[in-house]
Structure 1
Amino acid sequence: MRTDLHFYATAAMPDAGAGAPAPLDRRVSNDDVIDTYESLQGWAKLADELGYDTLWLTEHHFQHEGYEVTPNLVLFGLHLANITKRLRQGQAFNVVPTWHPLRLAEDFAAADLLTGGRMVFGVGRGTVPRESMTLGAPVASGDNAMSKELDAINRERFEEAMEVIQLAWTQERFSYHGKHHDYPPAGIPDRGATVQELTLVPRPNRPIEIFQPVSSPRTLSYVAQQGFHGVFALASPDRMKRSWDLFAEEAAKVGRDLAPGEARAMQLMVHVGATTEQAMDRVRPGHDEYVKFLSPYGRFGQYDGTDLPFDYAPTLEETRAARAMAVGSVEDVVEVLGEFRDKLDLQHVLLFPEFPGLTREEIDEQLVLLAEEVMPRLGVELTAAAQR
């Protein structure tokens, strides 16, 4: 099983929890952000030593609350690749509508070449209006008419941009004229003529796999039929299984026959303690902080149960009962991961150990426990960990 790590890159939050401060009232300092970057560099080096395959980071902007403070994943990944030996660097996810697609294509291609193919390309459409709309992308979160209208425009722009990126990567000469993207624009003068085609410099020297989060039925169908890898998260095993299988059915409609578990990855938030009680006590503030921050964006709707409200805000006990995260002793976490592995024929997992309120040293401990205690009990030996 390919075993990766995923970090939001959240600043230190000693006051994390369900109560005050409210998310929008929290403000971290620039020094807090710099400290977070120092921690990420340490986690990358440790992950490299332990034998994890890929470290994934998340793109967000203007997060004065400090939850996710890495705005440029290609740039950060290039740096982390330079201070590690073999660890690959993934983007979970580049928010494509906020980018000029050709700049994203260029930047990724250059970084991939400079790192010897150690970059992993992930894309998303964005969820946070404050950042996406400021950067020119129409997006709104929420279950209302405005969000649906803006979401439709966002989806159009995203899908065109993905066509542009793949065309630019694979064709020595290309042009694209769509509803939202027009390259090259008509009438550009150049040496007595007008530009009719473009050439991306540089282009990748290998086929690039594309990963995208699956967050709705329409996105599931799109990702499966485009030949991308789907990334699934925050669902109970049974809910995950239904989406997992539907992905393969949608892929088959266009002749993409997938083996069980193929082209699908699962992100799972995890925390390991000496006992179940210790793990719950230590992770509760971070769990509740994430729920407080993310529930208005509808992130917890794939738990067990029917008619969950869009802004469902689960307790830690409800999260553990749904098995949407793996929190507990080594045995507890192995059991939850084992259930997902068996139900999904899981081949690729992104373990997420970073909860607000945990110290850098506590997260260091999680990386070691997962590599040396949890994964071996599932029959997975991380290469470097097995050699220690």
Structure 2
Amino acid sequence: MRFDLMHVLVNRGRTRPWDELLDETRERVELADELGFDGIWLGEHHFDGEGNDQLPNPVLMHADLAARTQRIRLGIAAIGLPLWHPVRLAEDLAMLDHFSKGRVDVAFSRGILAGEIMNLNPEADRRNEEQSREIFQENLDIVKKAWTEDPFRHRGKRYTLPWPKVGWGGKAMADYEDENGHLTGLPVIPKPVQSPMPPIYAVSQTESGWRHAAQNGMGAISSHPTGKKLANLNAAYDEEAATYGRPAHFAKVGPAVREFSVAETEAEARADIYHFVVDRFEVIKRVRGLGAWLDIDEDPEDPKLQAMDGFDLMMERDYLFVGTPDSVAERMIKMHRERGWEHFMLALGQASPEAIERSMRLMAEEVIPRVRREVGDVTVEAAGAAR
């Protein structure tokens, strides 16, 4: 089984100096490495004046963390792929793979918020679904080819690489030039340490997104689907993978992000994370509607659901691992046995530094060992490299 953490640079109200967020991130990741968590994931967000996640460049952040850690895998979920030049991104991620000696996992998305997308690449506007997907696919193809092909070349709707009738000069690039001295391919340097590439994922909450991931040999990560909705995403992935002659999803249930808080008592665990959970519940409800938190057979207009406390609603639908070591372990074991969960992505909620450290230690030292003992240590195959 695999147990990862997800960390966000939360700065609600922008009351904290940003360098404090960096130091906090470093401290938590160093502790996670020490405690034996399998991976740490960061996301990409821009212009976040509200302070929900203030990290514009997770690649650069992980370059810093690579030098401070020894074994923990460094995940990004997600990079807004249409917001980057794909060759530059391939180069940066390959460098990160070298800095970390092959510990990189990366998930891609089309971007979420219009304010991010439109101010960095208005052509990728998600209101134009066909064009948005077209840009994502071409950028993804370029990243994968840049990692695996030498010479690298690409002819697409938006990128022509190398540019026609451009030379390099001298003899160093002779193997990449034609008889007229024009480049016919490019050496993208460096290639990643992991061969043929780092494990790659897509972040999506929709069936079409999971099917697209299967088509491209990527894993899939979700955050909001639960119950039947999440099971249907995995079934759609497996169906699409079979159509393309690819393996079923490498985990019976794809990694799904869940907040956690572990303490000596149920009340203490709830109190430590309650306000953060409710705030996040309200943010997602505002952006995506209550339905984002519900299962497929639940009506978001139901007055009882509308009036329900956000924490209680999330707890009932298995969005939270909150409680004592015993109760959290039992919930994880149940989800593995009944729903096939093998890869847990555990989000660090916002609490006091003392509460966060205590929760991490209890999860690593008491919860995870018990889960592994009782269900067996099922190895999760990485995506990407095996496909």
Smaller-chain TM-score range?
0.7 to 0.9
Structure 2 residues without counterparts, runs of 5 or longer: 170-179, 378-387
Following superposition, the deviation at residue 175 of structure 1 comes to 1.6
SS at match of 1:172: coil
1:131 counterpart letter in structure 2? E
Q: Report the CA distance shift for 1:180/1:307 in structure 2 as closer, same or farther (over 3 A).
A: farther
Equivalent residue for 1:127, pick from 108, 112, 123: 112
Deviation, structure 1 residue 264: 3.0
Partner of residue 371, structure 2? 378
Range with greater deviation from structure 2 (88-97 or 188-197)? 188-197
* Structure 2 CA distance for aligned equivalents of residues 322 and 62 of structure 1: 32
Offset of 1:158 from its aligned partner? 0.8
Assess if the C-alpha contact under 8 Å between 2:234 and 2:252 holds in 1. no
**1:40 partnered with 2:19:** no
| Contact in 2 for aligned 1:353/1:366 (Cα 8 Å) | no
Match of 2:14 among 27, 31, 50: 27
SS state at 1:341 partner: helix
Show CA shifts across 1:296-349 (max 9, x none).
33276252343437xx89711111122222223333322332232123322221
Does residue 157 of structure 1 match 2:135?
A: yes
- For 1:314 and 1:168, locate their aligned partners in 2 and report how far apart those are by CA, in whole Å: 48
In the aligned structure 1, how far is the partner of 2:147 from the partner of 2:309?
42
**More contact order relative to length (CA 8 Å, sep ≥ 6):** 1
Partner of 2:59: 74
Q: Is the 8 A contact 2:205 2:224 kept in 1?
A: no
Number of aligned residue pairs: give it. Answer: 357
Of 69-78 and 330-339, more deviation after overlay is shown by 330-339
> Quick one: distance in 2 between partners of 1:148 and 1:62?
20
**Runs of 4+ that moved beyond 6 A:** none
Task: Quote the residue 1:224 is aligned against.
Answer: 214
CA-CA distance at 1:42 after TM superposition: 0.6
Task: State the alpha-carbon separation in 2 of the partners of residues 275 and 114 from structure 1.
Answer: 41
**TM-align CA RMSD:** 2.5
1:306 corresponds to: 298
Name the % identity: 27
Pair 1:60 & 2:45 matched = yes
Matched, 1:97 2:89: no
Q: Which runs of 5+ in 1 are unaligned?
A: 14-25, 141-146, 384-388
| Mapping for residues 193-212 of structure 1, pairs under 5 Å | 193-205=181-193, 206-207=195-196, 208-212=198-202
Output the CA distance in 2 between the equivalents of 1:238 and 1:263.
11
Give runs of aligned pairs for residues 1-388 of structure 1, distance below 5 A: 1-11=1-11, 13=12, 26-29=13-16, 31=17, 33-138=18-123, 148-149=127-128, 151-191=129-169, 193-205=181-193, 206-207=195-196, 208-258=198-248, 261=251, 264-298=254-288, 301-304=292-295, 305-308=297-300, 315-355=310-350, 358-379=351-372
Q: 1:247, 1:343 → 2: CA distance?
A: 19
Where does residue 175 of structure 2 map in the other structure?
Answer: none
Is the 1:244–1:344 contact (alpha carbons within 8 Å) kept by the matching residues of 2?
A: no
The change in CA–CA distance for 1:344 and 1:250 in structure 2 (over 3 A counts) is farther
Offset of residue 139 of structure 1: 5.4
Matches of 2:69 and 2:343 in 1, distance apart? Answer: 22
The alignment partner of 1:290 has SS state of helix
More divergent stretch after superposition (276-285 vs 52-61): 276-285
What residue is the counterpart of 1:17 in the other structure? none
Kindly tell me: are residues 94 and 229 of structure 1, through their superposed partners in 2, closer, same or farther at Cα, counting changes over 3 Å?
Answer: same
CA distance in 2, matches of 1:237, 1:84: 35
8 Å Cα contact 2:234/2:249 also seen in 1: no
